[in-house]
Amino acid sequence: MGKEWVVEKHDSDKGFWAVFPGLCKGCGLCIEKCPVKCIAWSEGLGVYGTPRVGADMTKCIVCGICQMVCPDCAIRVEKYKQ
């Protein structure tokens, strides 16, 4: 049986930010590197039962840094074309 990839997606008018809970190991690197500090621990759990992250889309500038720094490719960010 194939693994089902759950994704938690957040939208804004600038783009979307998504986290794959099945990949997030809760290392906190994305929280540390976000230039506008809009990532925080969320209620949901990640792959090892540790807290996973969520982004505040009212502040997120969809820069993609969190996607770049995540060692486990747990974040996907896409900027909408204006």
Q: Which of 8, 16, 22, 25 binds ligand SF4 (CB under 6 A)?
A: 25
Q: Rounded CA gap, 63 and 59, in Å?
A: 11
Q: Using CB under 6 A, which of 36, 40, 78, 80 touches ligand SF4?
A: 36
DSSP classification of residue 81:
P
61 binds ligand SF4 (CB under 6 A): yes
CA distance 10 to 2: 25
Instruction: Establish if 8 lies at the interface with ligand SF4 (CB under 6 A).
Output: no
Report the candidate in 41, 44, 39 with the shortest Cα–Cα distance to residue 67: 39
Distance in Å, CB of 64 to ligand SF4, minimum: 5
DSSP characters over 67-79: HHH-TT--EEEEE
Residues in contact with ligand SF4 by CB under 6 A are 17, 19, 24-30, 34, 36, 38-39, 53, 55, 60-66, 70, 72, 74-75, 77
